[in-house]
Amino acid sequence: TSNSDVVLPELPAGYEDTYVNGVRYRVRTVEIRAPEPMAVAVGDTYDATIADTNNLHRRVIIICLFAIIASTVFGWVLAAFAVRPFKQLARQTSQIDASDEPPDIEVRGATEAVEIADAVKGMLERIWEEQDRTKAALASARDFSAVSAHELRTPLTAMRTNLEVLSTLDLPEEQRKEVVNDVIRTQSRIEATLGALERLAQGELSTSEDHVPVDITELLDRAAHDAMRVYPDLEVSLVPAPTVIIIGLPAGLRLAVDNAIANAVKHGGATRVQLSAVSSRAGVEIAIDDDGVGIPEEERKVVFDRFSRGSTASHSGSGLGLALVAQQAELHSGTASLKDSPLGGVRLLLRLPGPR
């Protein structure tokens, strides 16, 4: 006991309350079986036990309150640091407007915030890229429609004049046939122009998903055979070369080659065309050589513009043949150019980069 030795009564194992000399005790009894069976009892006055227990409870409560307060403060501080990058991200995104330049989002701090910021930045860059493409498409459409209207107005006016002449004047049969033939030629020119415009529009709508492996050697071989059927007086040869395969638009590349051949025959008066393809680490070079009248050097860049015709071109063309070639080169991230040909005419050179 705490003050003096007190003889405790024999009690069962465990905690028990008992009175000794009128004083209440709290007793803890433990049985020991070895080496000799015995029971050990330890006790203290009930009031002292309750006082110690209450003191322990108070300490536990104080420690718990301190721990709760400390945890709250620590959690608030930690949350403030953790939320700061997200507030910074929210502030930067709220300031985004429809400007010409993509916003620069920079966030530092928690890994999660940085990852979200990077994802938002990537999304905004893609949105801006699509926005730029949309703006470019709208600008191209405006220019396209304006130039198309101008180019179509002239032949339509000529057709109207000829039709008015036919309807109002009693022409001799020979003159009447001449006017009718002129109307037919004008109609054919308009039809060719509309067809070229349609192909240009289709090219503008192509996407990267349309690019597939293309055997350039086979494509040139088929183009050569088809050209000789379309133009019986034309000799088309293919320079032997190993198989050349690139990722591209099969229909677009074939359109570019066909237009180059047609341009050489119709406007250059070519009787011989030579096709070749050379592959290297830099990419593929497709050359279409002819023996026609050629194109003056100062006009070799201008003729790739839409509705642009060289001084040696016939007036029956739409002015879109080489524009289609330039468009396909651009769609393949390449270039189209005109040079002197060893055959005496002009060489159309398509440079297409290899895979990156």
Is 77 found in the same domain as 23?
A: yes
Is 349 found in the same domain as 251?
A: yes
Is 110 found in the same domain as 182?
A: yes
Q: Which residue has the tokens 């803890």?
A: 28
Is 171 found in the same domain as 84?
A: no
Q: Is 273 helix (H, G, I), strand (E, B) or coil?
A: strand
Q: Strands, E, within the chain: which ranges?
A: 14-20, 23-32, 38-45, 212-215, 235-238, 245-248, 272-280, 283-290, 335-340, 346-353
Whole-angstrom distance, CA of residue 323 vs CA of residue 331: 12
Q: Which of 169, 184, 205 corresponds to the end of one domain? A: 205
Look up residue 251 and give its two tokens: 């229909």
Whole-angstrom distance, CA of residue 214 vs CA of residue 254: 10
Whole-angstrom distance, CA of residue 105 vs CA of residue 90: 10
Is 104 found in the same domain as 78?
A: no
Is 293 found in the same domain as 249?
A: yes
Is 80 found in the same domain as 153?
A: no
CATH value at residue 233: 3.30.565.10
Look up residue 3 and give its two tokens: 């003050």
Domain count, the chain: 3
Look up residue 158 and give its two tokens: 């000529």
Domain enclosing residue 66, as ranges? 1-95
The DSSP code sequence of 66-106 is HHHHHHHHHHHHHHHHHHHHHHHHHHHHHT--S-SS-----
Whole-angstrom distance, CA of residue 203 vs CA of residue 185: 27
Q: Which of 45, 60, 95 corresponds to the end of one domain? A: 95
Whole-angstrom distance, CA of residue 250 vs CA of residue 255: 9
* pLDDT single digits (tens) 120-167: 878 878 887 888 777 777 776 676 666 667 667 767 887 888 888 888
Is 219 found in the same domain as 190?
A: no
Q: How many CA atoms lie within 13 A of 149 on its CB side?
A: 5
Exposed, middle or buried, 180 (CB in 10 Å: 0-12/13-18/19+)? middle
Is 56 found in the same domain as 18?
A: yes
pLDDT tens for the chain, 356 residues: list them: 445 566 777 788 888 888 888 888 888 888 888 777 888 888 888 888 888 889 999 999 999 999 999 999 998 888 877 777 777 777 777 777 766 566 667 777 667 777 877 788 788 788 878 887 777 777 766 766 666 676 677 678 878 888 888 888 888 888 888 888 888 877 877 776 676 666 666 656 566 677 789 899 999 999 999 999 888 899 999 998 888 888 888 888 888 898 899 888 888 889 999 999 998 888 899 999 999 888 888 888 888 887 666 666 655 555 677 888 888 888 888 999 999 999 999 999 999 987 65
Look up residue 23 and give its two tokens: 């004083």
* pLDDT single digits (tens) 29-46: 888 887 778 888 888 888
Is 315 found in the same domain as 291?
A: yes
